[in-house]
Amino acid sequence: MKTAKILFLLLLLGTMPHLTAQKQAKYADRGDALIYYEVSGQGKPVVILHGGLGNIDGYTSLADSLKKAHKVIAISFRGHNRSTLGNRPYSFGLFAEDIIAVLDNEKERKASVVGFSDGGVTAYCLAALYPQRIDRIISLAGCFRYSDYKPEGVNWIKTVTGKDRLGADASPNDLARMDSLITYMRPLWQTEVYLSKEAAATIQSPTLIIGGDKDFFFETACFEEAHCTIPNSELVILPNTGHNLNQPEIIHKHIVPFLKE
């Protein structure tokens, strides 16, 4: 089994010419799954977590902005991008365990976390479940529960397909892999509670919550509740802004300064 995993890693790493000498591609072995991540920069560690069905390739500008002062660890959730699906039921607690395994792999005792959407939920879980391992967190469009979703968001969760995400021109293999991932993710999204308010209220890490007032999935009340629940938190509601908060002006105006405090 170990030999097969090593061969798998070598094959994947051999197909990544876009990675420069300054960016290291690595894996954390979780037994049932291999968690892919990339490391760049030096300094106090910051973890980047993408959204559901996304991947770390879309966060290059964020990583580039942070690596000037931080060791950036961009992690692909299990089943996403180059991480393998595994065979355990998905939960945000499991995702948090995977992130801690990556920090252990990197021999990092403590790190800050920037998470978008599902990554924002995972950031909350990390701060609540592993307080001694988490410094600061930034949650971009994260929520606490399934009922936080607007009706159109609930419909998206129930109906999204691999073709919707990748387009009709995607290869059959890519479509099949995305559909398999959605099969794992849909029960996760439909879990009644991702993190209880009681658990969220124990978070002591300095927390920045950012949401858009035109988010497709969530009302601003979702972000306001998180701010009222988490003691040491700041809230930024961006006007005329949707769900996508991975934008240069947000990175430089809010994320970079908060991590410097």
CA distance 111 to 48: 10
Q: The CATH number of the domain where 117 resides is what?
A: 3.40.50.1820
Q: Which residues contact 56 (CB under 8 A, 6 or more apart)?
A: 37, 38, 48, 50, 63, 74, 75, 76, 81
Residue 222 falls within a domain, yes or no? yes
Domain membership flag for residue 139 = yes
In a domain, 230, yes or no: yes
Per-residue confidence band for 21, with pLDDT thresholds at 50, 70 and 90 = very low
97 and 91 Cβ atoms separated by less than 8 Å:
no
The pTM score is 0.92
Where does the pLDDT of residue 9 fall: very low under 50, low under 70, confident under 90, or very high at 90 and above? low
Q: Is residue 6, in this structure, part of any structural domain at all?
A: no
Is residue 44 assigned to a domain? yes
> Quick check: 14 pLDDT over 90?
no
Span 153-172, average pLDDT: 97
Say if 14 falls within a structural domain.
no
The domain of 54 spans 20-260
Q: Answer yes or no: are the C-beta atoms of 107 and 178 closer than 8 Å.
A: no
Range 108-133 average pLDDT:
98
Question: In the prediction, which pLDDT does 22 show?
Answer: 73
Q: Is residue 55 part of a domain?
A: yes
Any domain includes 125: yes
Q: What is the mean pLDDT of residues 107-118?
A: 98
Q: What is the mean pLDDT of residues 229-248?
A: 96
pLDDT of residue 19: 43
Q: Indicate the average pLDDT of the chain.
A: 93
Domain count, the chain: 1
User: Is residue 75 a contact partner of residue 62, using CB atoms and an 8 Å limit?
Assistant: no
User: For the ranges 20-34, 144-158, 185-199, which has the lowest average pLDDT?
Assistant: 20-34
Instruction: Say if residue 240 is exposed, middle or buried (CB neighbours under 10 Å; 0-12, 13-18, 19+).
Output: exposed
| Residue 104: both structure tokens together | 């252990």
